[in-house]
A and B are shown apart, each in its own frame.
Chain A
Amino acid sequence: MASPFSGALQLTDLDDFIGPSQECIKPIKVDKTLGSGVAKIHIEDDGSYFQVSQDGGTRKLEKAKISLDDCLACSGCVTSAETVLITQQSHEELRKVLDANKTLAPGQQRLIVISVSPQSRASLAVRFQLNPTDTARKLTAFFKKLGAHYVFDTAFSRNFSLLESQREFVRRFRAQTDSKQALPVLTSACPGWICYAEKTHGNSIIPYVSTARSPQQVMGSLVKDFFARQQCVTPDKIYHVTVMPCYDKKLEASRPDFFSQEHQTRDVDCVVTTGEVLKLLEEEGVSLSELEPAPLDSLCSSVSAQEPISHRGGGSGGYLEHVFRHAARELFGIHVDEITYKPLRNKDFQEVMLESEGRVLLHFAVAYGFRNIQNLVQKLKRGRCPYHYVEVMACPAGCLNGGGQLKAPDAPDKQLLQDVERLYGMVRTEAPEDVPGVQELYGHWLHGEGSTQADRLLHTSYHAVEKASSGLSIRW
């Protein structure tokens, strides 16, 4: 099975070759037993291991398990078997949780919240030939049928991510003269990019990455902090699932930074891909188009939107567009309407410029796909990066083309991508600051923009992964 993770993640040292210079960081605790001498290992037909000691007694041996958390901490790997990597998160795990929850008494039950990304929704819309609104409503109906209590849209949490990104850029642009590492700002919403940057480049790149959380993780804050308070439950009583266009998002949800020590719970408990949602539908024997639509849920009780809302700027979140427009206005008093992209070496590497009287005021770029990330990083390391801001995504063509999106067996990939883009673009757009509920939440949940609360709940930090050096490394 070809690896489902993004190209950037695949090349990040998750390889099968167990070189002596690579060490698994998972500590293996060895329990010493007295007088056991030499023991034999016997393998049963079902693959389980039994230790047979000299007196003939047998003891079943535990399998060493690698979890996603371990992966993030490590620079070497024992195995890259995909099944091992995503053992804790899969649609089977989700179904288990939903089924188990149903059997509990209402007071004991966990509150199940599912946050759907607009990219996944667009992919499903194309498959079932529905418009975005119907897809959203029918998905809501489907998840509630399975046992979910609320179904939200991560386009809502993205508003916060965009607003924070805008503010951060203006602040860093103004700080250029004081700090060499203020610019360029590199986006942070793509975990494939972040994992690669942390492991391969570490502190030479990390200072440039935006600290704004991705829409998935802002939703984590919204659900486990704001929504939990509103529902009068502790965060660990909520089981938060997100539906995402790629597998890399599963790794993002497992980051220790997104685990609350206080409540012993993750901000996002489980990530399922668009493909896994399709599997759930197939297992239920249900076609999305046949379902009766349900009304859409809203995080803000004062808002009742019966239609999804989207953003300008493309299927990867529109970071460049929002930050560019905001910066042009805030820094130079220039109003920008349409943004013109100039393709560079290939269609996944494009630049945008704000010019006035022959001077370049802002120079932004989008860099999608591993080869363009390579070139960007190399330029940056040599001090030759001409950009102030770069929207970086690990997948060519961006999130709509993520590794977890649905494939059409009989249609060419190009056509499918175009259809998904078209459906994605059908949804009405709204500027983040104008979306109902956003200003309200900045007020009474976060106690103002730029507050400590806002910083804690809407931002994060990154950590260079140290490469383990072993005395066994062979010097060729």
Chain B
Amino acid sequence: MKDSLVLLGRVPAHPDSRCWFLAWNPAGTLLASCGGDRRVRIWGTEGHQRTVRKVAWSPCGNYLASASFDATTCIWKKNQDDFECVNILEGHENEIKSVAWAPSGNLLATCSRDKSVWVWEVDEEDEYECVSVLNSHTQDVKHVVWHPSQELLASASYDDTVKLYREEEDDWVCCATLEGHESTVWSLAFDPSGQRLASCSDDRTVRIWRQYLPGNEQGVVCSGSDPSWKCICTLSGFHSRTIYDVAWCQLTGALATACGDDAIRVFEEDPGSDPQQPTFSLTAHLPQAHSQDVNCVAWNPKEQGLLASCSDDGEVAFWKYQRPEGL
């Protein structure tokens, strides 16, 4: 199983510092990394006052948003080979932990240690306005991610829950709370169809949640017109430390995890498993993928099996994943 994940290369992306997060651009040609050295770096085959914690590319690939502990989010616009900062979004009270673009490209979500999730709207003149301030979580919010095709937002928090939000009239509301993790939920990833959501936690498990619409065949109870989310699978016993990130490959459906035990793991759903109670098998496990905590894993959106990872050791690593024979 060690050979199913092969190292392609390493770069000292953020020397003497931590590398916190990665994002591939939609075309799969550039990787943005960010780190404790306050830098955002773009890697290809081509500034903030404190740690830059996360970066996110817009769906069109022309903009990059960077979320920082300095409580601002910068919007960088691609200008030929260079990026220029075209907007600085202020308003959060303290460290911003995550930023994410909606698939439409018109909305942006940010979340912070101030326990709130903000939804921003951008107009044709690249002006951003706050559309909603959501105070549903009771603790630091670690991650936000949008559904791949709907305007549905998910957030993960130190309060051990995952919350989902949608638009209602002229405001956004929390439409579901997913409880089950026993500790901080660090990251989230939707599957390619958007029907399932994976969450990873300090409790060393990955949970898979499934959306059930009102009137569903399985008889899952829904309140009103909002769908219900149920935990249909828990991956436990595989990770020995906190799981900091989970990434769901939009091409193959493989799940990669970044763990505090310095390892990278890949899981795949067993063929023929019951969609309501799926089983996943560990198909790659690379201990010592990095020399310190792995903070982020990101699947390339165009090239199958190409995985990037980054770590507290300041390095970015590139990997080739191949599903092992006979599995």
Residues of A in contact with B (beta carbons under 8 Å apart) = 7, 10-13, 15, 17, 200, 345-347, 370-371, 374-375, 378, 475-476
Distance A167 CA – B78 CA, assembled complex (angstroms)? 50
Distance A234 CA – B241 CA, assembled complex (angstroms)? 68
Contact at A12–B93, with CB atoms within 8 Å? yes
| A-contact 0/1 string along B108-148, CB 8 Å cutoff | 00000111100000000000011111010000100000000
B91 lies within 8 A of chain A by Cβ: yes
Distance A7 CA – B115 CA, assembled complex (angstroms)? 12
Contact at A375–B133, with CB atoms within 8 Å? no
Contact at A11–B129, with CB atoms within 8 Å? no
Residue on A with the closest CB to B127? A384
User: Which single member of B36, B90, B93, B171 contacts A11 (CB below 8 Å)?
Assistant: B93
Residues of B in contact with A (beta carbons under 8 Å apart) = 36, 50-51, 69, 90-91, 93, 95, 113-116, 129-133, 135, 140, 170-171
Known: A7-B135, A371-B133, A374-B133. 8 other contacts (CB 8 A): A11-B114, A11-B135, A17-B140, A346-B170, A346-B171, A371-B131, A371-B132, A374-B130
6 interchain pairs (CB within 8 A)?
A13-B93, A17-B140, A345-B131, A345-B170, A347-B170, A370-B133
Contact at B93–A17, with CB atoms within 8 Å? no
Distance A345 CA – B132 CA, assembled complex (angstroms)? 11
User: Which single member of B50, B133, B140 contacts A7 (CB below 8 Å)?
Assistant: B133
* In the complex, chain A residues whose CB is within 8 Å of the CB of B171: 346
Contact at B113–A375, with CB atoms within 8 Å? no
* In the complex, chain A residues whose CB is within 8 Å of the CB of B50: 475-476
User: Which single member of B51, B69, B91, B113 contacts A374 (CB below 8 Å)?
Assistant: B91
Distance A325 CA – B294 CA, assembled complex (angstroms)? 63
Given contacts A11-B116, A17-B113, A476-B50, is CB(A378)–CB(B131) below 8 Å?
no
A-B CB proximity, top 7 nearest: A346-B170, A374-B130, A476-B51, A371-B130, A371-B133, A374-B91, A375-B129
* In the complex, chain A residues whose CB is within 8 Å of the CB of B116: 11
* In the complex, chain B residues whose CB is within 8 Å of the CB of A375: 129-130
CB distance from B56 to the nearest CB of A (A): 20
CB distance from A463 to the nearest CB of B (A): 20
Distance A346 CA – B129 CA, assembled complex (angstroms)? 12
Given contacts A345-B129, A346-B170, A476-B69, is CB(A378)–CB(B90) below 8 Å?
yes
Q: Which of the listed residues A10, A11, A375 has the most CB atoms from chain B within 10 Å of its own CB?
A: A11
* In the complex, chain B residues whose CB is within 8 Å of the CB of A371: 130-133
* In the complex, chain A residues whose CB is within 8 Å of the CB of B135: 7, 10-11
* In the complex, chain B residues whose CB is within 8 Å of the CB of A15: 93, 114-115
* In the complex, chain B residues whose CB is within 8 Å of the CB of A7: 133, 135
* In the complex, chain B residues whose CB is within 8 Å of the CB of A374: 91, 130, 133
* In the complex, chain A residues whose CB is within 8 Å of the CB of B170: 345-347
* In the complex, chain A residues whose CB is within 8 Å of the CB of B132: 371
Distance A371 CA – B171 CA, assembled complex (angstroms)? 10
CB distance from B143 to the nearest CB of A (A): 17
CB distance from B115 to the nearest CB of A (A): 8
Residue on B with the closest CB to A381? B90
Residue on A with the closest CB to B132? A371
CB distance from B52 to the nearest CB of A (A): 10
* In the complex, chain A residues whose CB is within 8 Å of the CB of B133: 7, 11, 370-371, 374
Contact at A476–B36, with CB atoms within 8 Å? yes
CB distance from A418 to the nearest CB of B (A): 15
Residue on B with the closest CB to A199? B93
Residue on B with the closest CB to A22? B94
CB distance from A160 to the nearest CB of B (A): 34
CB distance from A74 to the nearest CB of B (A): 15
Contact at B113–A378, with CB atoms within 8 Å? no
Distance A476 CA – B94 CA, assembled complex (angstroms)? 13
Contact at A378–B91, with CB atoms within 8 Å? yes
Distance A374 CA – B93 CA, assembled complex (angstroms)? 12
Distance A345 CA – B36 CA, assembled complex (angstroms)? 37
CB distance from B131 to the nearest CB of A (A): 7
* In the complex, chain A residues whose CB is within 8 Å of the CB of B140: 17
* In the complex, chain A residues whose CB is within 8 Å of the CB of B90: 378
Residue on B with the closest CB to A11? B93
Distance A15 CA – B132 CA, assembled complex (angstroms)? 20
Distance A7 CA – B133 CA, assembled complex (angstroms)? 9
Distance A85 CA – B171 CA, assembled complex (angstroms)? 30
Residue on A with the closest CB to B114? A11
Distance A347 CA – B169 CA, assembled complex (angstroms)? 10
* In the complex, chain A residues whose CB is within 8 Å of the CB of B51: 476
* In the complex, chain B residues whose CB is within 8 Å of the CB of A346: 131, 170-171
Residue on A with the closest CB to B91? A374
Distance A261 CA – B280 CA, assembled complex (angstroms)? 72
* In the complex, chain A residues whose CB is within 8 Å of the CB of B113: 17
Distance A13 CA – B51 CA, assembled complex (angstroms)? 20
Distance A10 CA – B171 CA, assembled complex (angstroms)? 19
CB distance from B199 to the nearest CB of A (A): 23
CB distance from A114 to the nearest CB of B (A): 33
* In the complex, chain B residues whose CB is within 8 Å of the CB of A10: 135
Residue on A with the closest CB to B121? A345
Distance A200 CA – B36 CA, assembled complex (angstroms)? 26
* In the complex, chain B residues whose CB is within 8 Å of the CB of A13: 93
* In the complex, chain A residues whose CB is within 8 Å of the CB of B36: 476
CB distance from A335 to the nearest CB of B (A): 33
CB distance from A373 to the nearest CB of B (A): 9
CB distance from A205 to the nearest CB of B (A): 13
Q: Which of the listed residues B36, B91, B95, B115 has the most CB atoms from chain A within 10 Å of its own CB?
A: B91
CB distance from B88 to the nearest CB of A (A): 10
* In the complex, chain A residues whose CB is within 8 Å of the CB of B131: 345-346, 371
* In the complex, chain B residues whose CB is within 8 Å of the CB of A475: 50
Distance A244 CA – B130 CA, assembled complex (angstroms)? 29
Residue on B with the closest CB to A349? B170
Distance A272 CA – B310 CA, assembled complex (angstroms)? 55
Distance A345 CA – B121 CA, assembled complex (angstroms)? 10
Distance A393 CA – B56 CA, assembled complex (angstroms)? 34
* In the complex, chain B residues whose CB is within 8 Å of the CB of A370: 133
Distance A347 CA – B171 CA, assembled complex (angstroms)? 10
Residue on B with the closest CB to A13? B93
CB distance from A46 to the nearest CB of B (A): 29
CB distance from B40 to the nearest CB of A (A): 16
